[in-house]
Chains A and B, each alone.
Chain A
Amino acid sequence: MRSLSNIVWLGTKELRSFFSDWVLLGFVIYSFSLAVISQAQSNSQEVFHASIGLLDEDHSELSRRITHAFLMPYFKEPVAIAQADIEHLMDTGKYTFVIDIPPNFQRDVLAGRQPGLQINVDATAMIQAGLGSGYAQQIINTEIAQFVSQVERVPDSPVNLAARIAFNPNVMTAWFSSVMGIISSVTMLAIILAGAALVREREHGTMDHLLVMPLSPFEIAMSKIWANGFVIAVAVGLSLYLVVRLLLQIPIAGSIPLFMFGAILYLFFATAIGLFLGTVARSMPQLGLLYMLVAVPMNVLSGGATPLESMPPWLATVMQASPSTHFVSFAQAILYRGAGLDVVWPQFLAVAGIASLFLVLSLLRFRSTLSSASN
Chain B
Amino acid sequence: MNGSDDQVAVVRALSHRYGSVTALDCISADIPAGRLVGLIGPDGVGKSSLLAILAGARKIQEGAVAVLGTDISKAAERALICPRIAYMPQGLGKNLYPDLSVKENVEFFARLFEQSRKEREWRINELLESTGLAPFADRPASKLSGGMRQKLGLCCSLIHDPDLLILDEPTTGVDPLSRRQFWDLIDRIRDRTAKMSVLVATAYMEEAERFDWLMAMNEGKILATGSPSDLKQQTGTDSIEDAFVALLPHRQRAGNEKPIGPPLDGHAEPVIVAKDLTCRFGDFTAVDRVNFTIRRGEIFGFVGSNGSGKTTTMKMLTGLLPPSEGEALIFGEVLRAGDLEARRRVGYMSQSFSLYGELTVRQNLVLHARLFHLSLAFAEARIAELIEKCDLADYLDDLASSLPLGIRQRLSLAVAVVHKPDLLILDEPTSGVDPLARDQFWQLLIDLSRNQGMTIFVSTHFMNEAARCDRLSLMHEGRVLASDTPAGLIKARNAKSLEDAFISFLERETPGTASTVTLDQPQAEPDKTAGRESRRSFFSFRRLFAYTIREGLELMRDRIRLMFALFGTALLMIVFGFGISADVNNLSFAVLDRDQTPESRAYLSELRGSPYFLEKPPLTDYADLDRRLKNGDISASIEIPPNFGLDIKRGRPAYVSAWIDGAMPFRAATIRGYLQGMHQLYLSDPVLNTTQAARPLPANIEVRFKYNQDFDSIYAMVPSTLAMMLALFPAILMALAVVREKELGSITNLYVTPVTRLEFLVGKQLPYVAVALINFIIMFAMAVFIFNVPLKGSFVALLAGTVIYVFTTTGYGMLISTFCTTQIAALFGTAILTILPAQQFSGMMTPVSSLSGSAQLIGLCFPMSYYRPISVGAFTKGLGLADLGSSILMLLVFVPVLTALSMMLLPKQER
Contacts and interface: CB of A to CB of B under 8 A. Distances in A.
Contact of B701 (A137, A205, A281): A137
B699 A116 contact: yes
B847 A125 contact: yes
A69 interface: no
Interface string B300-322: 00000000000000010011111
A288 B739 CA distance: 14
B582 A126 contact: yes
B662 A167 contact: yes
Contacts of A163: 657-658, 660, 672, 675-676
Interface in A193-211: 196, 204-206, 208-209, 211
A167 B632 CA distance: 12
B348 A212 contact: yes
Interface in A110-128: 112, 114-128
A216 B699 CA distance: 78
B322 A371 contact: yes
Interface stretch (B187-195, B290-298, B623-631): B623-631
Contact of B655 (A160, A175, A332, A338): A160
A315 interface: yes
B597 to A, nearest CB: 13
Nearest to A211: B320
A127 B824 CA distance: 35
B414 to A, nearest CB: 14
Interface in B621-676: 627, 629-632, 648, 651, 653-670, 672-673, 675-676
Given A127-B666, A289-B561, A306-B580, A116 B702 contact: yes
A135 B341 CA distance: 74
A92 interface: yes
A310 B658 CA distance: 22
A176 B358 CA distance: 39
A127 B665 contact: no
B836 interface: yes
Interface in A1-55: 2, 5-6, 9-10, 12-13, 16-17, 19-21, 23, 27, 30, 35, 38-39, 42-51
A13 B365 CA distance: 12
Contacts of A117: 699-702
Interface stretch (B140-148, B160-168, B441-449, B875-883): B875-883
Contact of A155 (B320, B561, B695): B695
A124 B874 CA distance: 12
A372 B337 CA distance: 10
A257 interface: no
Nearest to A340: B630
B504 interface: no
B581 A311 contact: yes
Contacts of A82: none
Contacts of A13: 356, 359, 367
Among B630, B661, B699: residue with most chain A CB under 10 A: B699
Contact of A374 (B321, B575, B705): B321
B603 interface: yes
Interface string B671-685: 011011101001100
Interface stretch (B215-223, B489-497, B825-833, B900-908): B825-833
B358 A20 contact: yes
A130 B670 contact: yes
B578 A311 contact: yes
A205 B351 contact: yes
A286 B850 CA distance: 38
A288 B828 contact: yes
Contacts of A339: 630-631
Interface string A270-293: 000000000001111111111011
A57 interface: no
B355 A164 contact: no
Interface stretch (B469-477, B519-527, B706-714): B706-714
A95 interface: yes
Interface residues of B, number: 141
B717 interface: yes
Contact of B663 (A35, A126, A309, A336): A336
B560 interface: yes
A171 B668 CA distance: 7
Contact of A138 (B354, B363, B676): B676
A93 interface: yes
Contacts of A84: none
Contacts of A292: 564, 568, 572, 732, 831
Nearest to A91: B883
B513 to A, nearest CB: 28
Given A209-B348, A305-B579, A123 B373 contact: no
B344 interface: yes
B683 A162 contact: no
B836 A155 contact: no
B623 to A, nearest CB: 12
A349 interface: no
Contacts of A160: 653-656
Contacts of A176: 663-665
Given A141-B697, A176-B664, A208-B350, A123 B716 contact: yes
A65 B512 CA distance: 100
A215 interface: yes
Given A16-B359, A306-B580, A172 B354 contact: no
Given A137-B703, A155-B695, A339-B631, A301 B352 contact: no
A159 B699 contact: no
A333 B699 contact: no
B700 A116 contact: yes
A320 to B, nearest CB: 14
A133 B674 CA distance: 12
Contact of B363 (A16, A39, A165): A16
Contacts of B879: 91
Contact of B846 (A128, A133, A287, A315): A128
Contacts of B340: 214-216
Given A115-B700, A164-B659, A288-B827, A124 B664 contact: no
A252 interface: no
Contact of A114 (B669, B696, B736, B822): B696
B338 interface: yes
A336 B662 contact: yes
B322 A164 contact: no
Interface in A39-82: 39, 42-51, 76
Nearest to A161: B679
A338 B740 CA distance: 48
Contacts of B578: 311-312, 315
B610 interface: no
A344 interface: yes
B46 interface: no
B848 A93 contact: yes
B582 A127 contact: yes
B61 interface: no
A148 B695 CA distance: 13
A57 B139 CA distance: 78
A123 B707 contact: yes
A138 to B, nearest CB: 7
A115 B697 CA distance: 10
A222 B849 CA distance: 50
10 contacts: A16-B356, A49-B852, A95-B849, A114-B696, A114-B700, A123-B707, A131-B669, A155-B692, A293-B572, A297-B571
Interface of A: 2, 5-6, 9-10, 12-13, 16-17, 19-21, 23, 27, 30, 35, 38-39, 42-51, 76, 88, 90-96, 105, 108-109, 112, 114-131, 133-138, 140-141, 144-145, 148, 154-169, 171-173, 175-176, 192, 196, 204-206, 208-209, 211-216, 281-290, 292-293, 296-297, 300-301, 305-307, 309-312, 315, 329, 332-333, 336-339, 343-344, 371-375
The 3 closest A-B pairs by CB, nearest first: A168-B662, A134-B673, A209-B354
Given A160-B653, A206-B354, A307-B667, 6 more contacts: A129-B705, A136-B703, A213-B372, A289-B568, A337-B630, A374-B315
